[in-house]
Amino acid sequence: MASLGNNESMDENELLLRHAQRWASGHGRPFDRELIALALDLRSTHDGLAANLWPAGSAVHLMLERWPAHGPVEPPDVMALTDSLDTFWRFLRSTGRMAGASEEPAQLRKEAGKAAKQMPEACADRSRWGSAKSLLSFGAEVGISLDDAQTTEELQERLDRITDAWNDLPQDERIRRTPALDHPQEAEGIAGPDDDDLPPLHSEAEIGALVRGSAFTAKLLALREWVGDGREITATEVLRPSVARQAYADLDLWAWERASLALDSRLGPAIPDEAMGPRSWRSARDCFALDRLWQSALHAGLVQIQGRRAEASPRIPETDSEWAGMGLMSLLGLVGRTDELIDAEVLLTVLAAVGSEPDREPMSGQAIKDWLWTLTEAEAEGGPEDPERLHPMVDAAIERCLFLFDDCNLWRHVGSRLAPTALGTDYALVLHRSLEAEES
């Protein structure tokens, strides 16, 4: 089975895979080393994720997004992959190698089991394929395979022949064979963000640029740099209170907290100076201004847990693909943290309202509220809700959502109105699939 990525990350993981195979043999558990090596390679190459970092949602992302897009043309043995992943996760957890931001193996297995039912169809759906995978499939069609190439020179010669044959195709045929992901400007007529099977609409270059340019990403990178070689954490994997207070001061989080308090109190931004500084809290998790960054950085792998210390990840994303992957994972982490304040469905609704019609005039916050009023009233029809009670609840949820995610480049401001961005449109699809996976 040939991987479409490079072999560097697989080499780096060779020792880990040997230990995992030995552990699996000793515990009588199934383990297809080749499948796991390929899975780790795909995640490292395209998402910049370490082999031992498996946050919530990462199994679904691997099986329904990353593998269909960049894995081999032939789909894997899904049951063997699921069982081998389960063994690998158990090995990581039982030997103390699992990164601190990872989900528990039992939950990851449950997540993978649900994704397994959809994986064959996802892998067969050519609209999900990346350009390299489409090109290799075309090569097989014209009788040029890379599988038995003996030397690098022979491999390159075959790639050149495939590329020449591809370039000889009419442009319309190349566009038909290539996913809309690689031709966003050619994708007229494709379904809108409510289409369950829609692949990302924009290139990794567009998404990567928006991730790199967001204020939220800048804060995450500042936190990573601040963590540096190591900071003390508690048993619940958050910074010790005294360390967290230092982070709060060094990262200048008061401005964000003051805006949050103003929103909570509806008193405006004029908060007395003596109220400045972190509120009274016993755990760093109580300080939302810090914890939203902390949980998102862990989820994205920018900060890693090693025993009772947190350390900065050894590298930050470099390619557009890595930036895009890191950005989407950090946003999933942020949604997981903000879910106690607003339902994730509220963000999904806002993104749908802002980006459902790209050619429409930008929407005001009030227009989004009006739209959600209509949806909520329809759902509550015949129920106990009434407009006088419902509308303030909807207004508060929308305002809080717009505040919590305003620094993420999910939308852009056009005066007092909001317009869609490529990141917001594509993240709506990722979030929709993530919520569906949780419900199924």
Give pLDDT tens digits for 253-263: 988 888 888 77
Average pLDDT of span 130-151: 69
pLDDT at residue 267 is higher than 50: no
Chain centroid offset of residue 16 CA: 25
> In the prediction, which pLDDT does 2 show?
38
pLDDT at residue 7 is higher than 50: no
Of these ranges, 140-149, 206-215, 349-358, the one predicted with the greatest mean pLDDT is 206-215
DSSP tally for the chain: helices H, then strands E: 20, 6
pLDDT at residue 227 is higher than 60: yes
Q: How confident is the model at residue 125 (pLDDT cuts 50, 70, 90)?
A: confident
> In the prediction, which pLDDT does 246 show?
92
Q: pLDDT, tens digit, for every residue of 349-361? A: 888 878 654 455 5
Q: pLDDT, tens digit, for every residue of 310-339? A: 999 988 898 888 898 899 889 988 998 888
> In the prediction, which pLDDT does 190 show?
23
Q: How confident is the model at residue 269 (pLDDT cuts 50, 70, 90)?
A: very low
Among 336, 363, 339, CA closest to 351? 363
Average pLDDT of span 111-122: 92
Lowest mean pLDDT among 108-117, 273-282, 299-308: 273-282
Q: How confident is the model at residue 99 (pLDDT cuts 50, 70, 90)?
A: confident
pLDDT at residue 273 is higher than 80: no
What share of the chain in percent tops pLDDT 90? 29
pLDDT, the chain, mean: 77
Higher pLDDT among residues 255 and 154, named by residue: 255
Average pLDDT of span 169-175: 62
Average pLDDT of span 133-147: 70
Lowest mean pLDDT among 160-164, 183-187, 208-212, 377-381: 183-187
Lowest mean pLDDT among 149-153, 252-256, 344-348: 149-153
Average pLDDT of span 227-251: 91
pLDDT at residue 20 is higher than 70: yes
Higher pLDDT among residues 260 and 20, named by residue: 20
Q: Which CATH number fits domain 341-439: 1.10.8.350, 1.10.10.10, 3.40.140.10, 1.20.140.10?
A: 1.10.10.10
Q: How confident is the model at residue 83 (pLDDT cuts 50, 70, 90)?
A: very high
> In the prediction, which pLDDT does 160 show?
72
Q: Kindly give, in sequence order, each residue whose CB lies less than 8 Å from that of residue 9, ignoring residues fewer than 6 positions away.
A: 40, 41, 44, 45, 51
> In the prediction, which pLDDT does 353 show?
79
Of these ranges, 31-45, 75-89, 348-362, 426-440, the one predicted with the greatest mean pLDDT is 75-89
239 beta partners: 233
231 beta partners: 310
Beta carbons of 24 and 31 less than 8 angstroms apart: yes
Q: How confident is the model at residue 371 (pLDDT cuts 50, 70, 90)?
A: low
Q: How confident is the model at residue 199 (pLDDT cuts 50, 70, 90)?
A: very low
Which string of DSSP letters, residue by residue, matches 220-249?
HHHHHHHHTT-EEB-TTSSB-HHHHHHHHH
> In the prediction, which pLDDT does 6 show?
40
pLDDT at residue 195 is higher than 60: no
432 beta partners: none
Beta carbons of 247 and 310 less than 8 angstroms apart: no
Higher pLDDT among residues 278 and 291, named by residue: 291
Where do the structural domains in the chain lie, given as residue ranges? 8-128, 213-336, 341-439
Average pLDDT of span 85-106: 88
In a 13 Å sphere around the CA of 323, the CA atoms on its Cβ side amount to 19
Q: Kindly give, in sequence order, each residue whose CB lies less than 8 Å from that of residue 376, ignoring residues fewer than 6 positions away.
A: 385, 390, 394
Residue 286, Ramachandran bin (φ over 0: left; ψ between -120 and 50: alpha; else beta)? alpha
> In the prediction, which pLDDT does 203 show?
79
Please state, in angstroms and rounded to a whole number, the distance separating the CA atoms of residues 298 and 306.
Answer: 12
Average pLDDT of span 219-247: 92
